[in-house]
Amino acid sequence: MPETHLASDNYATIHPAVLQAIIDANRSHVPSYGDDAYTSALNATVSEMLEMKAQVFPVLTGTGANVVSVTAASPRWGAIVTSGHGHMIGDEGGASVRLSGLPLLPVASADGKLTVDALEAIDWHDGFVHTPQATTLSIANTTELGTVYTQEEIRALAEWAHSRGMMVHLDGARIFNALAALDCDLKAVTVDAGVDIFSIGATKNGALAAEAVVVANPHILGTEYIQKYLMQLPSKARFVSAQISALLADDLGIGLGRHANEMAALLVDRLTELSNSSRIDPLELTQKRESNQVFLRLPAHLADAFRATTRFYDWDALANEVRWVTSWDTSMSDVDGFVDAFEKASHQV
Ligand SMILES: Cc1ncc(COP(=O)(O)O)c(C=O)c1O
């Protein structure tokens, strides 16, 4: 097995600057639970980037960030509208529903993105006491299918949601990949687009268990209490905050996200060359590649043969769909080696 895989960006290593930030923060005793200079500095940095007084809460996992965010953004009687491919639906072991107590209202979407047209085509039964009330719109950027919402698309969704009195949550587990793909800053696709609460995901982009929930809407109250009772208040928060600050400094995180995206683009190019060369059966991408995730159809016997040499996940086993993901530390030679190994496996079946 090679040392690198395209299974997940969670397989990747920690970026040296992030590791250094942990080392730099590893001196003297400081107050715990976020009452420290590193977390204050992160708050100041994010507030400056957003040009507003934001509240920033360092948390440990992307699932935790989502649970805290939707709980904070929703009334007890609310429900969360999200893509049918949403992470909260299929990938959190039900955490967002179990822990927030909020039902999820999935909306079908072939590319993981919601549109105002799709939302308007649904009768939400507003005010009907028997139906879960749609109070919170949750989107992810990048989406779970690697596609990317533009600022205009988010703004249109936010306008729709706000006109109905709903809050907008953005799951930013891969926000750096989205910012790189859009070539824009954090403010453009969050507060400028009407997002009320969002996460800055660092773990998949060079950090070690570090995400931040950012509350941009001052009407969202009590997030600090919610963070605690949902077990996402790290006692040694300084080490989480320091990691995120390291990625925000000098746009390091966007640079790493850009590299991961470029490696995915290279992967698609190499696969397309191979597919066009007739040396293998034609390949079918199932999603447009817009960030660091590549989805494609692979016959099960070929996927099994290739798995003897590398690791990757089925996305939809019944549809023979697999997912390959590049990371901040994926090199060009990793991509070449991966494609060569894929060609060899194709010739074996
Ligand atoms: C879009 C999205 N949101 C949230 C998460 C959750 O992250 P974690 O595994 O750290 O809980 C992931 C991780 O795969 C994700 O892809």
Task: Tell me the per-residue pLDDT of 15-25, one tens digit each, with 9 for 90 and over.
Answer: 999 999 999 99
CA of 91 to the centre of ligand 1 (A): 8
Q: Which CATH superfamily is domain 253-348 in?
A: Aspartate Aminotransferase, domain 1 (3.90.1150.10)
How far apart are the C-alpha atoms of 96 and 15, rounded to whole Å? 29
What was the pLDDT predicted at 279? 87
CA of 7 to the centre of ligand 1 (A): 14
CA of 319 to the centre of ligand 1 (A): 22
Q: Quick one: CA torsion of 120, 161, 154, 200, rounded to 10 degrees?
A: -140
What was the pLDDT predicted at 5? 87
69 lines ligand 1 (CB under 6 A): no
144 lines ligand 1 (CB under 6 A): yes
On the question of a cis peptide bond just before residue 82, with omega within 30 degrees of 0, the verdict is no
CA of 89 to the centre of ligand 1 (A): 11
Using the atom order of ligand 1, give the atom closest to the CA of residue 8.
Answer: 14
**The pLDDT of residue 40 is above 90:** yes
258 lines ligand 1 (CB under 6 A): no
178 lines ligand 1 (CB under 6 A): no
CA of 15 to the centre of ligand 1 (A): 19
Determine the average pLDDT of the residues in 20-49: 98
Q: Give the angle 56-57-63 at the CA atoms, nearest 5°.
A: 125
153 lines ligand 1 (CB under 6 A): no
63 lines ligand 1 (CB under 6 A): yes
What was the pLDDT predicted at 135? 98
Q: To the nearest whole number, what is the mean pLDDT of the chain?
A: 96
Map residue 314 onto helix, strand or coil: strand
Q: Which residue's CA is minimally distant from atom 15 of ligand 1?
A: 173
Under the banding of pLDDT at 50, 70 and 90, the label for residue 172 is: very high
203 lines ligand 1 (CB under 6 A): yes
Listing DSSP states for 87-136 in one string gives: HHHHSSTTHHHHHH-PPEEEE--TTS---HHHHHTS---TT-TTS-EEEE
Under the banding of pLDDT at 50, 70 and 90, the label for residue 113 is: very high
pTM (2 decimals)?
0.97
Burial grade of 84 (CB within 10 A; 0-12, 13-18, 19 or more): middle
Determine the average pLDDT of the residues in 83-109: 94
9 lines ligand 1 (CB under 6 A): no
What was the pLDDT predicted at 109? 95
**The pLDDT of residue 2 is above 80:** no
Please choose, from the candidates 256, 261, 262, the residue with its C-alpha nearest in 3D space to the C-alpha of residue 329. 256
CA of 137 to the centre of ligand 1 (A): 17
13 lines ligand 1 (CB under 6 A): no
Under the banding of pLDDT at 50, 70 and 90, the label for residue 83 is: very high
Residue 277: phi and psi, rounded to 5, are -75, -10
How far apart are the C-alpha atoms of 216 and 158, rounded to whole Å? 14
CA of 10 to the centre of ligand 1 (A): 9
Structure tokens at 29: 């005793």
Q: Which CATH number fits domain 11-250: 3.40.50.1820, 3.40.640.10, 3.40.50.1000, 2.60.40.1120?
A: 3.40.640.10
Give per-residue pLDDT as tens, 5-17.
899 999 999 999 9
How far apart are the C-alpha atoms of 250 and 243, rounded to whole Å? 13
Structure tokens at 158: 């936010």
Going from N- to C-terminal start, the domains of the chain cover 11-250, 253-348
Determine the average pLDDT of the residues in 137-146: 98
Give per-residue pLDDT as tens, 176-229.
999 999 999 999 999 999 999 999 999 999 999 999 999 999 999 999 999 999
Give per-residue pLDDT as tens, 320-339.
999 999 999 999 999 999 99
